[in-house]
A and B are shown apart, each in its own frame.
Chain A
Amino acid sequence: MATFTRPLVEPRPQSGGASATRADGIFRAVLIAISAFMLIVIAAITVFVFYVGWPSFSANGLSWFGSGDTPLDVELGYSFLGDPEGGRYTTLNAWPALLGTLLTTGGALLLSFPFALLAAIFIAELAPKRLAAFLDPIVSVLAATPSVIYGLFAILVLAPLIEQNLIPQDKAEQISPVVTLTGANVLLGILVLTLMIAPLMIAIFADALRAVPVKWKEGAIALGCDEWRMTRRVSIRAIRPALVAGTTLAMGRAVGEAIALSMATGSIAFIPNPLDGYFFFLEPVRSLASSIVDYSEGFESPELKANLFAFGVILLITTAALTIGAKIASRAAEKKLGGS
């Protein structure tokens, strides 16, 4: 009868097994503690921002979201108690700041999405390997560049160009009683945001395109598609969840951008007039986030503080809604397309 010098199945060392379990338990406990801490910090920030900002909403009611005749800068400081010199009580009408955020973010998304998609297709599908290997790190660096750099580039390089080439002197003078036209305006805000978020979108889209299984591409080519139609009908369709996720991420970054926009938009709480034709885009605005930055030194005034925190509440809600909305949308897209 054959004898085995070693058992066929190594018995699991009891002590080792037990200690491994204990290590697992400790590891898990640490992770849970860290996550719980993060959650508590986020909750605390949210509660604090809502708490400080709430008086602004409660005092102004729904007109908070409207527009008024008083300049926003005046309203921000004096909206609760009235003018200290005995002037009239003013309401905070935050519409100019809301509009500033909407215009710059919306314009940047409209501009950067098609550009980013085409650039991603070029990098991921069409460019020769070497060129793609060269472009890839550039896109990553651009996506990670601090926004203040873009702001500097905008006011030092782009603003003079816009001022010299797009704003005729006579028109500027004609409009000067209402608002001073400079190179820093809606257009520059849109451009700087586009510069900021396009690399982010390109990086996300290109990664997704690269992850499209070769078998789908081959399948389309074997059915008689040329490469462009294969990309359009199969690849872009397959990366829809990434399109949603990347766009939302970029949108979150654009909505929250403060410094670069503060530099690029002229940072005047003006409501551009659609009747001015294309000058609409050459008039200054100030976004919610830029307003917070611009007035961040005035927190001794409780009214100003409450109003700026109220801006913060709007930004918090918007970004949270965007994140959750993106999750839902991209999950729905995945479900429909079965991104397995």
Chain B
Amino acid sequence: MDPNDDQQRLDERAKRQEWRHALDRSADLRAAGDPTDPTAVAATPPPPPAAPAPDPLAAVEPAPFGAAAAVPAPPASAAEPDPVALAQPLAQPAHVADPADLVLAARGLRVAFSGNEILHGVDLDAPRGGVLALVGPSGCGKTTLLRSINRLTELAPTATIGGQILFDGADVYAGGTDLNLLRRRVGMVFQQPNPFPMTIFDNVAFAIREQAKRRPSRGELMPQVADVLQRAGLWDEVKDNLDRNALSLSGGQQQRLCIARTLAANPEVILMDEPCSALDPRSTARIEELIVQLAGSLTIVIVTHNLAQAKRIADYAAYLLNGDLIEQGIAQQVFEDPANQSTRDFVAGMFG
């Protein structure tokens, strides 16, 4: 990894975050200062009746355990150290002024597998454009939350799902949702690079062929295939050998191929489930670079276990703990000045 490149990217990132921060600062202040502000209320999902909207000032203070009505008892897992003083979840995200700017939102999302609840009513806001990082310790439900967005969770027969996921304002769990269309508009990149056992070309052309009415010829496909491979930063490495077996690529190349394959479906949102955890640092750096580039034209929701990575690439961040969304907002704020004690401990590296 070239340290100069890294530094430059970090600078760009910081600038961009500052800019967003400034844009949203007014909304922040409004929300914090005046709870009756109509703008703030519009941005605020109605808090669950069990947890009355917390006083924004009180939210900063770690509340005593018993007072946190909305926080369910931590699971009886001995392996998971009881995180320091579970605090009240921040009921409302203050970083988005206009609900129309949300491309994705979870409202009271509950997911259970075989009756074991993984998500306890999560309200997540994903602003349009940029990178939203979902962070939290293992087992906190980040991946389940991510996979619930494009309705992959229900592939597990034991899963039960409640609540809403709003994509462009429409509930994807409403009846009559075209799942295939949803999954084309909300693409996904997985933790393990999973190119299909076919040529590089066929991998990229997969989604295009899938969406085409009749079978397009190779010549017709080529411009699109070349375009998405270029956007995924893989073109120069594979352009002479598109008929090579995709599985013969290196892990990092395979993951970029998967990103290209997802891009070929022309999605508005890409969900990424720890896309770099199986890769070496050099490949990770390339993918991070790619994510930042792509975030200019679409929205990326990324689950990451790597806090440093989240800090490098995220515009927004959401922190989950034991199935509850504890805090979300502008990445810089969540990482540098979190409102919640638990978040503070997590970003300080005290657990997770």
Q: What 0/1 pattern do residues 230 to 266 of B give for CB contact below 8 A with A?
A: 0000000000000001111000000000100110010
Do the beta carbons of A222 and B152 come within 8 Å of each other? yes
CB distance from A100 to the nearest CB of B (A): 40
Decide yes or no whether A339 CB sits under 8 A from chain B.
Answer: yes
Residue on B with the closest CB to A213?
Answer: B194
Q: A215-B190, A215-B194, A237-B198 are in contact. Are A225 and B180 (CB under 8 A)?
A: yes
Do the beta carbons of A233 and B247 come within 8 Å of each other? no
Decide yes or no whether B192 CB sits under 8 A from chain A.
Answer: yes
Decide yes or no whether A220 CB sits under 8 A from chain B.
Answer: yes
Do the beta carbons of B180 and A219 come within 8 Å of each other? no
Decide yes or no whether B188 CB sits under 8 A from chain A.
Answer: yes
Q: CA A224 – CA B183 in complex, angstroms?
A: 5
Decide yes or no whether A260 CB sits under 8 A from chain B.
Answer: no
Chain A residue contacts of B177, Cβ below 8 A = none
Q: CA A336 – CA B261 in complex, angstroms?
A: 20
Do the beta carbons of B190 and A223 come within 8 Å of each other? no
Q: What 0/1 pattern do residues 195 to 225 of B give for CB contact below 8 A with A?
A: 1111000000011001100000000000000
CB distance from B300 to the nearest CB of A (A): 15
CB distance from A240 to the nearest CB of B (A): 9
What is the interface size of chain B, counting residues whose CB is below 8 A from a CB of the partner? 30
Decide yes or no whether A337 CB sits under 8 A from chain B.
Answer: yes
Do the beta carbons of A238 and B197 come within 8 Å of each other? yes
Decide yes or no whether B352 CB sits under 8 A from chain A.
Answer: no
Chain A residue contacts of B174, Cβ below 8 A = none
Do the beta carbons of B181 and A224 come within 8 Å of each other? yes
Q: CA A338 – CA B244 in complex, angstroms?
A: 10
Decide yes or no whether B120 CB sits under 8 A from chain A.
Answer: no
Q: A215-B194, A237-B197, A339-B197 are in contact. Are A223 and B265 (CB under 8 A)?
A: yes
Decide yes or no whether B155 CB sits under 8 A from chain A.
Answer: yes
The contact sample of 17 A-B pairs, CB cut-off 8 A, is A216-B197, A218-B155, A219-B194, A221-B152, A222-B190, A223-B184, A223-B262, A224-B181, A224-B265, A225-B210, A233-B206, A238-B196, A336-B245, A337-B197, A337-B198, A337-B245, A339-B197
A interface list, Cβ under 8 A from B: 213, 215-216, 218-226, 229, 233-234, 237-238, 336-340
